[in-house]
Amino acid sequence: MSRGVIQPSQQKLAEKLTILNDRGIGMLTRVYNIKKQGQVWKACGDPKAKPSYLVDKNLESAVKFIVRKFPAVETRNNNQQLAQLQKEKSEILKNLALYYFTFVDVMEFKDHVCELLNTIDACQVFFDITVNFDLTKNYLDLVVTYTTLMTILSRIEERKAIIGLYNYAHEMTHGASDREYPRLGQMIVDYENPLKKMMEEFVPHGKSLSDALTSLQMVYPRRNLSADQWRNAQLLSLISAPSTMLNPAQSDTMPCEYLSLDAMEKWIVFGFILCHAVLNSDAAALSLWKLALQSSTCLCLFRDEVFHIHKAAEDLFVNIRGYNKRINDIRECKEQALSHAGSMHRERRKFLRSALKELATVLADQPGLLGPKALFVFMALSFARDEIIWLLRHADNIQKKSTDDFIDKHIAELIFYMEELRAHVRKYGPVMQRYYVQYLSGFDAVVLNELVQNLSVCPEDESIIMSSFVNTMTSLSVKQVEDGEVFDFRGMRLDWFRLQAYTSVSKASLGIADHKELGKMMNTIIFHTKMVDSLVEMLVETSDLSIFCFYSRAFEKMFQQCLELPSQSRHSICFPLLCTHFMSCTHELCPEEVNTHTWIQKLSIWIINTCSFSTMTLILILTFPLFVTLHVFTVSPPQRHHIGDRSLSLCNMFLDEMAKQARNLITDICTEQCTLSDQLLPKHCAKTISQAVNKKSKKATGKKGEPEREKPGVESMRKNRLLVTNLDKLHTALSELCFSINYVPNLAVWEHTFTPREYLTSHLEIRFTKSIVGMTMYNQATQEIAKPSELLTSVRAYMTVLQSIENYVTIDITRVFNNVLLQQTQHLDSHGEPTITSLYTNWYLETLLRQVSNGHIAYFPAMKAFVNLPTENELTFNAEEYSDISEMRSLSELLGPYGMKFLSESLMWHISSQVAELKKLVVENMEVLTQMRTSFDKPEHMAALFKKLTSVDSVLKRMTIIGVILSFRSLAQEALRDVLSCHIPFLVSSVEDFKDHIPRETDMKVAMNVYELSSAAGLPCEIDPALVVALSSQKSENISPEEEYKIACLLMVFVAVSLPTLASNVMSQYSPAIEGHCNNIHCLAKAINQIAAALFTIHKGSIEDRLKEFLALASSSLLKIGQETDKMTTRNRESVYLLLDMIVQESPFLTMDLLESCFPYVLLRNAYHAVYKQSISANA
């Protein structure tokens, strides 16, 4: 071969096509961002979003002048208009550099494309998509990318202002225009109507382009079939022919089978616009053109930029002589597209839903079929992706009144099955690798070797390349897969691309046009290599839906429609999964969308990997006039990861909405179950019992028209399977939605990991918290609150429903219970909101116990409950229904030990405030009390001293209040002990045993620790640790410990000498039925014992000695009233005598023997006899 002839290998067609296509996408990304920024400036009107010089009114006239004169530069005669520019020139240069040099890069890209197209024409390259697939595809892609880039460039409204401003600023700064400006300005003017200009440009390229396009006649019509034709051919079905299920899916045009229909339509539409002359001479070309025009009304230029086919084509052809027929064709095709395209694509989506579902189901059951039927998977993904993108594009650009064909409420199902197939490919990648490694080495290598051997002519370079193909495949083994070896066939694929370029030029020794079998075989082999090392890239190529990132509104609308339709909610997880696609639409040449360091790192890796294929490639890159220069980084604006941020925000929003929907369904189910549980409450059986009694006694049962109340359980009686209750619908909807939430354990979006189940858990915690508090039905105005037992019933019903969620979703519902219920045992939850502990504590203290203090409620020891007393103003609640043993146990179940401890501490705080007031009264009467303490054996002197005391009634009233509070606390502690004995009997018995066996000589600090443990378990203690802690905090700094001790002693004296005054009170009558007094003075026994034990523990005094002293003083004082003759003073003397017996019975420190020595037991016996006799006579 002559050295003077340029070798095909020296043209580097494959390398240039690869580089220019990649760079073209990068330039599209950058130009698109500039255009969108211009739209944002207009839409938001935010001065900060737009460079100041484009909104500055002082520069407005200069900008208009520059645009009007563009591309001419006139700086001399317009000093007034351009004077303001002089001040801003440095800022303009700095801020517009990125935009300006992007336009320069576009121009240089255009130059390189034109140069390459001319080279291809000169080489008379043969194009056939079915033979030299990579060469033809890359050529057509380059043409479309170039066309798209120039079209979007022409849509940037500020392009002249930006370029002109920068150049004027450059001239003012450097004294001359930028060297690229003349060519750049001319290009902007020339490409005002880009397609018209490019139609002129492509006249010499018409032959090559039309050849490439007409090769699609074997591929495009076969892909663009109706759903009925697909259905009749049983397309994508693995089970239609069971006998051939294990046979590998074969095709002579393997890569064409999953080629994007959207890409082919762009090739055809743009291609035949550029070389329109062939439409008049080639029937096959005209047929392709018409078919493409009938399929769509608009095409995707880039992302959400669209191209309205028919209008643009008609506008271009209308000015060409003799094209009336073509214009009529366009109009007919437009009518056809508007009337039939929507329904055709709707039916396709309907077919694909069932086809992909079948495919995904079969492969889930038999993943081994992914080997022989991999082609079906990628065909299915590509078909579905094309239909989804078509719908998305047309729904946003509807050109007809009826929109039914562009609203698909089942689109989520199709996307879901796509995601399922993608998941199968990722999961069973090793299965596919194993299959195709054996296929390549055992079959492909042998067939290719035979083809090479049978070639009549095979030049040395081509022979070396094809021999390397055979050797590479022959060396493969299954052991490499088993050992986890990383495969890399990129070099082999690039060599095949080069070989296509070498053999497609007109004077090639080995022409691929004469050896089509070789081309088809190599295309199949290339597909097989991709199944080994490029599965992820194949998934991106065939099923990437990152375009949804740019249709946020439509994306969110589809999601809402999916959630609203119960049958589709199980597929809602596909929307968060789509967010994982978004980052694949970014490009390294647009650092505004990706991290700069990532760009440099990827570029370096790309260069290194490419060098391994050919040293010439590296030289080409280094000498190639890179249109993406370093100023991209030096002048780059602050990083805006808007695509990543959008993917994160959308994914978060989708998962949050799914969890909210599930939470709302669960809440509705809980409400229904709480209603059913409420029907089983004892209070509802009264009416049923009344009806039964009346029926037995044959009494009239109210109005005849009154409907009979349904009994609980009626809802479970089904007469017909078709009857569906509201609860059934809720459960069905919940199971569907939970399937979606449980579909994936987590998903990674832009280096962030989302866990769908955690969203549900979080929402359940928040809702459970609000529901529990809400179910208390606390009304601050009326002081109404739900009974603890009713709340407990509702909470248990709620928890039962939540536990059933574990049947649908793999979440730890116990963790939810622990988090929520433990927070409810505290005063405030984690959000600072009141809990049921604080609500019930406030209600019992401020409502129930306050009414006790007011005399409206009494504590009945016999009933172990607080009971309403008959008064003029009836209370709005029945105290017994909130304080009996069952209610207190329910309260203990709800609040738990922590909550009951908080309740106790709140009670003790009220007691401590009462004790503080009592101490003040003691201080006021200290002198008199000191004398009375030593004069209890002198009746006359005691009587005289007693008359000097003040606030005697206040002391008794405050001690009674303390006693009432302590009585309520004892009920609460007893209930807590009962509850804990059921839940943790062994632990409670151990604590009880520990408490009962404390040696008397034990140090008080150690004993108090044991008492505190016992009190937390609800066990009664000789000394109340909570009361000790509350009273300890009252120590005054101004009073010495000795003085404090004296006040404590005198307090007991004060109470002892004040007891006789109770006899004169009408309400002090003892009632055997309730085993107490209606004015609650029987609670004094508990108050005296507990206060004495706590005070003298604090002051380290002898509790027994002080209580003995109290007993002596009280006995002496009570014996005196036996000698009184005034009936008013002694009206309830016997009832007051009984207090001494109660005090001794309540005290662990006093005995009956000690009482006998102070107060004759015969008086107690007579007192009991008298009060019982009085009670019987009163009842009679």
> What is the reported pLDDT for 9?
60
| Amino acid at site 615 | T
* pLDDT at residue 10 is higher than 80: no
* pLDDT at residue 629 is higher than 50: no
> What is the reported pLDDT for 491?
93
> What is the reported pLDDT for 610?
43
Structure tokens at 455: 């070639």
> What is the reported pLDDT for 1180?
60
What confidence category does residue 352 fall into, taking pLDDT thresholds of 50, 70 and 90? very high
Structure tokens at 538: 């194949």
Q: Is 665 helix (H, G, I), strand (E, B) or coil?
A: helix
Mean residue pLDDT across the chain:
87
Cα–Cα distance for residue pair 619/254, rounded to 1 Å: 34
Question: Which secondary-structure segment (H or E) carries 63?
Answer: helix 57-69
Summarize the confidence of residues 905-909 as an average pLDDT. Answer: 93
HSE of 280, CA atoms in CB hemisphere, 13 A: 12
> What is the reported pLDDT for 238?
93
* pLDDT at residue 820 is higher than 80: yes
Structure tokens at 654: 């989708």
Phi and psi, residue 301, nearest 5°: -75, -60
Task: List pLDDT tens digits, range 738-784.
Answer: 999 999 999 999 889 999 999 999 999 999 999 999 999 998 888 89
Cα–Cα distance for residue pair 1108/726, rounded to 1 Å: 70
Task: List pLDDT tens digits, range 506-551.
Answer: 888 888 999 999 999 999 999 999 999 999 999 999 999 999 999 9
Cα–Cα distance for residue pair 18/609, rounded to 1 Å: 14
Report the range of poorest mean pLDDT among 24-38, 739-753, 771-785, 931-945: 931-945
Summarize the confidence of residues 1-21 as an average pLDDT. Answer: 73
> What is the reported pLDDT for 79?
62
Cα–Cα distance for residue pair 643/648, rounded to 1 Å: 9
Summarize the confidence of residues 369-373 as an average pLDDT. Answer: 95
What confidence category does residue 402 fall into, taking pLDDT thresholds of 50, 70 and 90? low
* pLDDT at residue 240 is higher than 50: yes
Specify whether the CB–CB gap between 727 and 669 falls below 8 A: yes
Q: Where are the beta strands (DSSP E) in 389-503?
A: none
What confidence category does residue 52 fall into, taking pLDDT thresholds of 50, 70 and 90? low
Q: Higher pLDDT residue, 402 or 919?
A: 919
Summarize the confidence of residues 579-595 as an average pLDDT. Answer: 84
Q: How many residues does the chain have?
A: 1180
Q: Is 184 helix (H, G, I), strand (E, B) or coil?
A: helix
* pLDDT at residue 611 is higher than 70: no
Specify whether the CB–CB gap between 900 and 972 falls below 8 A: yes
Cα–Cα distance for residue pair 179/175, rounded to 1 Å: 12
* pLDDT at residue 21 is higher than 80: yes
Residues near 120 by beta carbon (within 8 Å), at least 6 away in sequence: 13, 139, 205, 208
Task: List pLDDT tens digits, range 126-150.
Answer: 999 999 999 999 999 999 999 999 9
Report the range of poorest mean pLDDT among 400-409, 414-423, 637-646: 637-646
Structure tokens at 790: 């009713």
Task: List pLDDT tens digits, range 465-480.
Answer: 999 999 999 999 999 9
User: How far separated are the first and last CA of the chain, in Å rounded?
Assistant: 139
Nearest to 607 by CA among 620, 592, 618, 598: 618
What are the residues facing 752 on neighbouring strands?
Answer: 749
Q: How many CB atoms lie within 10 A of CB 559?
A: 21
Percent of the chain's residues with pLDDT above 90: 62
In the chain, what's the furthest Cα-to-Cα distance? Answer: 150
Max mean pLDDT among 557-561, 1101-1105, 1108-1112 falls in 557-561
Q: What sign does the CA torsion over 278, 279, 280, 285 have?
A: positive
Report the range of poorest mean pLDDT among 500-504, 663-667, 713-717, 1078-1082: 713-717
Q: What sign does the CA torsion over 729, 732, 737, 741 have?
A: positive
Q: Is 301 helix (H, G, I), strand (E, B) or coil?
A: strand
Task: Break the chain down into helix, strand, coil percent, rounded to 5.
Answer: 70, 5, 25
What confidence category does residue 285 fall into, taking pLDDT thresholds of 50, 70 and 90? very high
Mind spelling out the 3-state secondary structure of 1131-1159?
CCHHHHHHHHHHHHHHCCCCCHHHHHHHC
Percent of the chain's residues with pLDDT above 70: 91
> What is the reported pLDDT for 541?
95
Omega of the bond leading into 1041 within 30 degrees of 0 (cis): no
Summarize the confidence of residues 683-689 as an average pLDDT. Answer: 80
* pLDDT at residue 43 is higher than 80: no
Task: List pLDDT tens digits, range 80-97.
Answer: 667 778 888 888 888 889
> What is the reported pLDDT for 614?
40
> What is the reported pLDDT for 313?
94
Mind spelling out the 3-state secondary structure of 1049-1067?
HHHHHHHHHHHHHHHHCHH
* pLDDT at residue 617 is higher than 50: no
- How does DSSP classify residue 749? E
Task: List pLDDT tens digits, range 424-466.
Answer: 999 999 999 999 999 999 999 999 999 998 888 888 888 899 9
Taking each helix axis from N to C end, the angle separating 490-504 and 516-533, rounded to the nearest 10 degrees, works out to 160
Exposure letters 239-250 (e unless 16+ CB within 10 A, then b): eeeeeeeeeebe
Q: Is 589 helix (H, G, I), strand (E, B) or coil?
A: coil
Q: How many CB atoms lie within 10 A of CB 947?
A: 8
> What is the reported pLDDT for 1116?
86
